[in-house]
């Protein structure tokens, strides 16, 4: 009746159905019925209708537009209705598709190796989706499952053995109700009907695209939907092709809908050259890809069918249990085909001429994505991820197609034309893009790194702050910003230019594995946080600005910007090792700078005199101009200094009028004076380093004795006054000595056993930290050397996953694992260093709470009251500060800090005990018990304070206290000038229980001719003893020797560990 472009109207069509395929004209062109009115049918023809006339015949097929799904569909290219273009070209010997060509969609002559599977045998009951065999399609796609078509069920009557068969050969016959159905290697399915599934599931894994901006900020799940809108030249096709090449999908369906033919030619050229390693053999990724090409020079009507062809093919592979990625480039051209057909049908147009049902058609397409539980046995899960490119005219995101797409998809990667013009690719605008899958994917990414969510949020905040600050910069300039805002701008620039920007045509950045992406995120965010923290800590008189940090960290910033040059084909372990090392290097650089900044009030600012002679006329030196220069000292010190220059740092102006020798004269004066100042500074710094080591020593010049029990209470480590370590075995009753030497003697101030099965022994002193383990013999497994790691006290967390070390300058180093992947057993070599600076003076003691929620640090500083700081390990902020006042005997405190359940017990060298009750992470109340006088402290006048008197022990200082872990109410006390160790039973009635009536010794330990020097309770009872925990006492003998004795809980001497003659000589 009528021919109007791709639309043909035919009469006498009674008995036909919607979407039935018909053959039109003498050339038997493929068409599809899209409207029925009475006996008149409107037919959409998928080929060129030139030459069709009124009266030409039309043949009904009675079948909907269907696809052939089976072996051979991969590594091929088809048009919008699944006609094989490569085979058509071979038959026609032409670059054009002949009209009315009729070629089987899949090759009927090629044999395939078929292997029965799932123990299918005659008599079995089967249903749709059951796997009956497998075909090896190619080297990359080895398991092409042969399944019972959906809707077919019954009893198996025939099973073909393994062998070579063509796709048209029946391999299984199924009988139901007397009707026999033959199951071939392929099956047919209508494109407009979604294949059935058991149920849809929530996505739980990410589609890794190897594009940093997507994987880091806007990830999509396997089974999700994403849209990539952008103007011409923004890189939509490049992103779609990158996802097809490097994503972690098992299969890829790439639909070129209405785009240029050279783009599909590029895919056909590039994909066979890209390979992946499978079983030691390189296989082209084209073997997992199928292409649906309906380019701009092909019939418009076929564009609509091409989208459904692609998603139906994807559903077929999904039903096998594979993760399929479908790229549609572009859905705007598909919508234009809908608009043209709608216009020829004379339908009422909506916005911009598109049909009113545009949103419904888009939704029906995108809703065929998702992660599902597949039909049949064995049980399996598969997914389809749909990424649709949208081409709004002029990049206008208010275009109807873009608006309708954004209301459907869950991920939006908005391409910005301004970014593309600046050659920033991928041109994803991070301010307008979004992903609704971030919360869902948090558990998945935390398997790779537990800090992923935090890193992602921090990066977004930095970029958002930069966007807010750009308006201020454009109005009043960058100099008007605060120092932290300048830092934010510079770090955001690093993120934009060296992280988000990715050159897909280089050998180092064409792809970026997730391990590399997360490693780069961690280094950049760590640098930003460290810089912000330093500027916040030094914001007063000795202010540190961004310029200072930028100059000091110039080399480190260069390393950060060069991270992208890491080759992407490296292993995941290589990336983790590389970026963890760089992250630690960044933090170490900031710590090194901070160590000098913390002490620069004493000697950092060195005046440099200017020239003695006045400046000649016209040669003006600006007076009193101070410049800050960051100088790196020699490698021995590994520190920085801030030198402030005066007259010599003046600005030279108008020097062109004067002779060159005058200019050189003044520059030479400036250089010589600066060198003299640097020499003076180096001498002062070395003197300060020696003073740091001296602070760890006792007043007599030696190190105080220390005891530490092994977790199993079978071994005991002791440190002699000379600083040497001995390990005593209660099982073999032998003593071993650790030779803790480097290039010279390594004096030891503290030791601590790791409370886990690994049981590493941490050894600390003025020269740093080292860790020992016993295998066949004692071996040093790791060390942190240098004055920066000088420590005088150690304490392991209860689970053995972190070590706190107190330094003489008030620094507390927290050493712990850099990743949760190391498991419950943590070796010290897996540690990273997290330093927390305290302003409370010298840190003399550290103690973890039993639940590892709090870390108590005792600080002592001249001319100020001592204090105890409680650090929260959740956010590493100070939860409480307990000022201890100014004791009558001066600010000196002993070095003993212990937890008793939820209370913190502090022994001081000023004749008192202090108990801090901790409630909810903060200090709730304070109690004091003075061992020696019958009066409470005036300077500790807190409610509930009672005094306790020990008969015969008046006016003695408490030197050390040790709490029994197995009986938290029992403690041992060592007093000044007392030759006995007193053991007390603490009342259970709280702070008020400290009284002279209730506090009394329940045991007294003494050794003839000896003085106690150190105490230590064992954390657990030894396996060979039923007496409970042991108390070790380090005794000084009058003969100059010493010995370590252990006592059970009922305080009867059980064993004496004596040192040999050689050991005595060392001590």
Domain assignment present for 699: no
Q: End of a domain among 576, 594, 612? A: 594
User: Is 835 a residue whose pLDDT tops 80?
Assistant: no
Average pLDDT over residues 85-91: 91
Same domain, 161 and 235: no
Bridge partner residues of 275 (DSSP):
284
Binned at pLDDT 50, 70 and 90, residue 862 comes out as low
pLDDT of residue 986: 61
Q: How far apart are CA 561 and CA 347, in angstroms?
A: 57
User: Is 342 a residue whose pLDDT tops 70?
Assistant: yes
pLDDT of residue 829: 61
Q: How far apart are CA 866 and CA 892, in angstroms?
A: 8
Same domain, 427 and 471: no
pLDDT of residue 978: 79
pLDDT of residue 225: 97
User: Is 244 a residue whose pLDDT tops 60?
Assistant: yes
Binned at pLDDT 50, 70 and 90, residue 813 comes out as confident
Phi, psi (rounded to 5 degrees) for 565: -80, 0
- Which of 462-466, 680-684, 772-776 shows the lowest mean pLDDT across its residues? 680-684
Same domain, 169 and 214: no
pLDDT of residue 164: 95
Strands (E), 586-724: 620-621, 627-632, 640-645, 652-653, 706-709, 715-719
Q: DSSP code of 43? A: E
Q: Are 844 and 807 in contact (CB under 8 A)?
A: no
Same domain, 185 and 221: no
- Which of 490-499, 662-671, 1058-1067 shows the lowest mean pLDDT across its residues? 1058-1067
Binned at pLDDT 50, 70 and 90, residue 945 comes out as very low
Q: How far apart are CA 414 and CA 417, in angstroms?
A: 10
Average pLDDT over residues 164-191: 94
Establish whether the linkage from the previous residue to 378 is cis, with ω within 30° of 0: yes
pLDDT of residue 432: 94
Q: Are 364 and 408 in contact (CB under 8 A)?
A: no
Average pLDDT over residues 619-642: 30
- CATH number of the domain encompassing residue 559: 1.10.1140.10
- Tokens 């927390």 found at: 836
Binned at pLDDT 50, 70 and 90, residue 861 comes out as low
Domain assignment present for 1041: no
Reported as a single tens digit per residue, the pLDDT across 874-885 is 777 777 777 765
Same domain, 154 and 220: no
pLDDT of residue 512: 95
Average pLDDT over residues 170-189: 93
Q: What is the CA radius of gyration of the chain?
A: 40
Binned at pLDDT 50, 70 and 90, residue 128 comes out as very high
Average pLDDT over residues 694-709: 54
Q: CA nearest 677: which of 637, 641, 624?
A: 641
Q: Are 706 and 1014 in contact (CB under 8 A)?
A: yes
Q: Which residue has the higher pLDDT, 609 or 341?
A: 341
- Which of 251-255, 479-483, 528-532, 796-800 shows the lowest mean pLDDT across its residues? 796-800
Q: Which residue has the higher pLDDT, 231 or 1009?
A: 231
Average pLDDT over residues 253-263: 87
Q: Which residue has the higher pLDDT, 916 or 255?
A: 255
Q: How far apart are CA 549 and CA 556, in angstroms?
A: 10
- CATH number of the domain encompassing residue 42: 2.40.30.20
Q: End of a domain among 169, 190, 211? A: 190
Same domain, 372 and 253: yes
How many CB atoms within 10 Å of residue 285? 20
- Which of 288-302, 334-348, 463-477, 490-504 shows the lowest mean pLDDT across its residues? 288-302
pLDDT of residue 822: 42
User: Is 604 a residue whose pLDDT tops 60?
Assistant: no
Q: Are 676 and 606 in contact (CB under 8 A)?
A: no
Q: CA nearest 80: which of 50, 52, 107, 105?
A: 105
User: Is 253 a residue whose pLDDT tops 80?
Assistant: yes
Average pLDDT over residues 393-422: 93
Average pLDDT over residues 823-847: 66
pLDDT of residue 854: 82
Reported as a single tens digit per residue, the pLDDT across 10-46 is 998 988 999 999 999 999 999 999 999 999 999 999 9
Estimate the crossing angle of helix 331-344 against helix 358-366, to 10 degrees.
Answer: 140
User: Is 524 a residue whose pLDDT tops 80?
Assistant: yes
User: Is 908 a residue whose pLDDT tops 90?
Assistant: no
CA 375 to each of CA 150, 197, 249, 316, 323: distance values in angstroms, whole numbers, following the listed order: 8, 5, 21, 11, 15
Q: Are 983 and 972 in contact (CB under 8 A)?
A: yes
Q: How far apart are CA 67 and CA 306, in angstroms?
A: 11
Strand 381-390 relative to strand 225-229: parallel, antiparallel, unpaired?
parallel
SS3 66: strand
Same domain, 409 and 524: no
- Tokens 């249903």 found at: 127
pLDDT of residue 531: 95
Please spell the DSSP secondary structure of 8-40, one letter per residue: EEES--TT--TTEEEEETTTTEEEEEEEEETTE
Please spell the DSSP secondary structure of 819-861, one letter per residue: -GGG-SS--GGGEEEEEEE-SSSEEEEEEE-TTSSEEEEEEE-
Q: Are 918 and 925 in contact (CB under 8 A)?
A: no
Say which residues have a Cβ less than 8 Å from residue 248's Cβ, sequence separation at least 6.
207, 208, 323
Q: DSSP code of 294? A: E
Please spell the DSSP secondary structure of 384-434, one letter per residue: EEEEEEE--GGG-TTSHHHHHHHTT-SEE--B-HHHHHTT-SS-B-TTT-E
Same domain, 489 and 366: no
Total number of domains in the chain: 4
Binned at pLDDT 50, 70 and 90, residue 1039 comes out as low
User: Is 113 a residue whose pLDDT tops 80?
Assistant: yes
- Tokens 């030891």 found at: 748
SS3 73: coil
pLDDT of residue 772: 83
Same domain, 498 and 585: yes
Q: Which residue has the higher pLDDT, 388 or 711?
A: 388
User: Is 583 a residue whose pLDDT tops 50?
Assistant: yes
Same domain, 426 and 313: yes
Reported as a single tens digit per residue, the pLDDT across 63-81 is 999 999 999 999 999 999 9
pLDDT of residue 943: 35
pLDDT of residue 17: 92
User: Is 196 a residue whose pLDDT tops 90?
Assistant: yes
Binned at pLDDT 50, 70 and 90, residue 777 comes out as confident
- CATH number of the domain encompassing residue 138: 2.40.50.100
CA 703 to each of CA 718, 740, 749: distance values in angstroms, whole numbers, following the listed order: 12, 15, 6
What is the CA 526 to chain-centroid distance, rounded? Answer: 11
Q: What's the whole-number average pLDDT of the chain?
A: 77
pLDDT of residue 968: 52
Establish whether the linkage from the previous residue to 426 is cis, with ω within 30° of 0: yes
Domain assignment present for 27: yes
Same domain, 229 and 368: yes
pTM of the model as a whole: 0.60
Average pLDDT over residues 702-727: 77
pLDDT of residue 635: 27
Max mean pLDDT range (552-561, 732-741, 982-991): 552-561
Strand 289-294 relative to strand 76-78: parallel, antiparallel, unpaired?
parallel
- CATH number of the domain encompassing residue 245: 3.40.50.300
Q: DSSP code of 733? A: T
Q: CA nearest 766: which of 743, 789, 782?
A: 789
Q: How far apart are CA 740 and CA 752, in angstroms?
A: 15
pLDDT of residue 427: 94
- Helices in 450-571 by DSSP H: which ranges? 452-476, 483-495, 514-537, 546-552, 554-561
Domain assignment present for 384: yes
CA 76 to each of CA 168, 254, 372, 553: distance values in angstroms, whole numbers, following the listed order: 19, 11, 26, 54
Would you state the structure tokens that stand for residue 416, as one six-digit string?
């910005």
User: Is 992 a residue whose pLDDT tops 90?
Assistant: no
Q: 344 is in which domain, residue-wise?
A: 199-439
Domain assignment present for 770: no
Q: Are 677 and 689 in contact (CB under 8 A)?
A: no
Domain assignment present for 691: no
User: Is 385 a residue whose pLDDT tops 60?
Assistant: yes
Q: CA nearest 78: which of 107, 49, 57?
A: 107
Q: Which residue has the higher pLDDT, 626 or 411?
A: 411
Q: If 0-12 CB within 10 Å is exposed, 13-18 middle and 19+ buried, where does residue 614 land? A: exposed
pLDDT of residue 631: 30
Binned at pLDDT 50, 70 and 90, residue 110 comes out as very high
Q: How far apart are CA 807 and CA 591, in angstroms?
A: 13
Strand 811-817 relative to strand 803-806: parallel, antiparallel, unpaired?
antiparallel
Domain assignment present for 759: no
Binned at pLDDT 50, 70 and 90, residue 661 comes out as very low
Average pLDDT over residues 1002-1007: 76
Domain assignment present for 769: no
pLDDT of residue 916: 56
pLDDT of residue 785: 75
Q: End of a domain among 594, 628, 645? A: 594
Same domain, 48 and 143: no
Binned at pLDDT 50, 70 and 90, residue 893 comes out as very low
pLDDT of residue 825: 60
Average pLDDT over residues 400-425: 94
Average pLDDT over residues 428-447: 94
Q: Percent of the chain beyond pLDDT 90? A: 42
Q: Are 222 and 206 in contact (CB under 8 A)?
A: yes
Q: Are 692 and 701 in contact (CB under 8 A)?
A: no
User: Is 988 a residue whose pLDDT tops 90?
Assistant: no
- Tokens 């396996």 found at: 1023
């Amino acid at each position: 009746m009528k021919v109007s472009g791709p639309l043909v109207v035919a009469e006498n069509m009674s008995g036909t159905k919607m979407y039935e395929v018909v053959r039109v004209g003498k050339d038997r062109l493929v068409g599809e019925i899209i409207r029925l009115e009475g006996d008149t049918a409107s037919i959409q023809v998928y080929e060129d209708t030139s030459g069709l006339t009124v009266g030409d015949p039309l043949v009904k097929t009675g079948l909907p537009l269907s696809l052939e799904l089976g072996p051979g569909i991969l590594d091929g290219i088809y048009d919008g209705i699944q006609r094989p273009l490569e085979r058509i070209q071979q038959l026609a010997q032409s670059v054009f598709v002949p009209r009315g060509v009729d070629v089987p969609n899949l090759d009927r002559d090629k044999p395939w190796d078929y292997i029965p599977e799932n123990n299918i045998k005659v008599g079995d009951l089967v249903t749709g989706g059951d796997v009956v065999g497998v075909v090896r399609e190619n080297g990359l796609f080895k398991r092409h499952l042969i399944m019972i078509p959906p809707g077919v069920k019954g009893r198996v009557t025939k099973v073909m053995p393994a062998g070579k068969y063509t796709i048209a050969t029946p391999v299984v016959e199924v009988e139901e109700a007397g009707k026999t159905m033959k199951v071939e290697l392929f099956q047919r399915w209508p494109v407009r009907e979604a294949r059935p599934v058991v149920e849809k599931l929530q996505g739980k894994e990410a589609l890794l695209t190897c594009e940093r901006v997507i994987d880091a900020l806007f990830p999509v799940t396997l089974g999700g939907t994403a849209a990539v809108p952008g103007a011409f030249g923004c890189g939509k096709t490049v992103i779609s092709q990158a996802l097809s090449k490097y994503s972690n999908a098992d299969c890829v369906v790439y639909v070129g809908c209405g785009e240029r033919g050279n783009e599909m030619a590029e895919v056909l050229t590039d994909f066979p050259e890209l390979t992946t390693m499978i079983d030691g053999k390189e296989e082209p990724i084209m073997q997992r890809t199928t292409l649906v090409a309906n380019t701009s020079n092909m019939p418009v009507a076929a564009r609509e069918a091409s989208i459904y062809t692609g998603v139906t093919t994807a559903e077929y592979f999904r039903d096998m249990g594979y993760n399929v990625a479908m790229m549609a480039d572009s859905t705007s051209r598909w919508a234009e085909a809908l608009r043209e057909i709608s216009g020829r049908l004379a339908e009422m147009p909506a916005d911009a001429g598109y049909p009113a049902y545009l949103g419904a058609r888009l939704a029906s397409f995108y809703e065929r994505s998702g992660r599902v539980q597949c039909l049949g046995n064995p049980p399996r899960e598969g997914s389809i991820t749909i990424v649709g490119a949208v081409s709004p005219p002029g990049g206008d995101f208010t275009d109807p197609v873009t608006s309708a797409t954004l209301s459907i998809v869950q991920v939006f990667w908005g391409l910005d034309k301004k970014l593309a013009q600046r050659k920033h690719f991928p041109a994803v605008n991070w301010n307008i893009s979004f992903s609704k899958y971030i919360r869902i994917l948090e558990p998945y990414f935390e398997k790779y790194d537990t800090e992923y969510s935090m890193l992602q949020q921090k990066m977004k905040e930095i970029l958002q702050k930069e966007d807010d600050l750009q308006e201020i910069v454009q109005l009043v300039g960058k100099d008007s910003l605060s120092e932290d805002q300048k830092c934010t701008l510079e770090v955001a620039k690093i993120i934009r230019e060296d992280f988000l920007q990715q050159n897909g045509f280089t050998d180092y950045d064409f792809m970026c594995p997730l391990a590399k992406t997360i490693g780069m995120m961690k280094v950049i965010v760590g640098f930003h946080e460290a810089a912000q923290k330093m500027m916040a800590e030094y914001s007063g008189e000795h202010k540190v600005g961004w310029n200072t940090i930028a100059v000091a960290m110039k080399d480190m910033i260069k390393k950060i910007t060069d991270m992208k040059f890491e080759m992407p084909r490296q292993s995941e372990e290589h990336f983790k090792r590389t970026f963890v090392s760089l992250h630690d290097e960044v933090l170490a650089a900031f710590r090194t700078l901070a160590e000098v900044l913390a002490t620069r009030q004493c000697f950092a600012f060195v005046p440099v005199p200017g020239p003695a002679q006045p400046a000649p006329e016209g040669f003006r030196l600006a007076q009193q101009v101070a410049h800050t220069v960051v100088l790196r000292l020699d490698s021995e010190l590994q520190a920085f200094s801030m030198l402030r220059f005066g007259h010599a740092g003046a600005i030279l102006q108008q020097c062109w009028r004067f002779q060159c020798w005058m200019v050189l004269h003044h520059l030479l004066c400036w250089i010589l004076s600066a060198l003299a100042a640097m020499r003076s500074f180096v001498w002062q710094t070395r003197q300060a380093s020696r003073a740091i080591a001296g602070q760890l020593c006792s007043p007599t010049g030696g190190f105080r004795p220390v005891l530490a029990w092994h977790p199993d209470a079978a071994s005991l480590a002791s440190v002699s006054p000379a600083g040497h370590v001995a390990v005593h075995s209660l099982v073999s009753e032998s003593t071993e000595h650790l030779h803790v030497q480097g290039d010279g003697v390594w004096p030891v101030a503290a030791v601590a056993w790791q409370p886990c099965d690994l049981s590493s022994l941490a050894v600390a002193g003025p020269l740093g930290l080292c860790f020992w383990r016993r295998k066949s013999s004692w071996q040093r497994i790791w060390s942190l050397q240098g004055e920066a790691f000088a420590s005088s006290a150690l304490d392991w967390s209860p689970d053995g996953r972190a070590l706190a070390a107190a330094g003489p300058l008030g620094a507390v180093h927290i050493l712990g694992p850099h990743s949760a992947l190391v498991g419950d057993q943590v070796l010290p070599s897996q540690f990273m260093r997290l330093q927390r600076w305290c302003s409370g003076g010298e840190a003399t003691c550290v103690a973890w709470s039993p639940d590892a929620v709090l870390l108590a640090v005792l600080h002592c500083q001249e001319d100020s009251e001592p204090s105890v700081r409680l650090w929260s390990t959740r956010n590493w902020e100070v939860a409480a500060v307990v000022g201890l006042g100014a004791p009558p005997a001066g600010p000196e405190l002993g070095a003993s800090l212990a937890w008793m359940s939820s209370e913190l017990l502090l022994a001081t060298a000023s004749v008192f005990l202090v108990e801090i009750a901790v409630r909810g992470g903060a200090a709730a109340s304070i109690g004091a018990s003075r061992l020696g006088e019958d009066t409470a402290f005036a300077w500790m006048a807190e409610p509930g304070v009672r005094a306790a008197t020990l008969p015969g022990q008046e006016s003695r200082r408490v030197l050390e206290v040790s709490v029994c872990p197995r009986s938290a109410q029992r403690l041992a006390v060592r007093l000044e000038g007392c030759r006995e160790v007193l053991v007390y039973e603490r009342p259970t009635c709280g702070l008020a229980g400290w009284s002279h009536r209730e506090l009394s010794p329940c045991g007294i330990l003494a050794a003839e001719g000896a003085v106690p020097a150190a105490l230590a309770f064992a954390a657990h009872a030894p396996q060979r003893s039923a007496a409970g925990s042991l108390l070790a006492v380090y005794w000084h003998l009058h003969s100059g020797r010493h010995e370590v004795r252990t006592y059970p809980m009922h305080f009867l001497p059980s064993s004496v560990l004596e040192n040999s003659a050689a050991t005595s000589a060392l001590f």
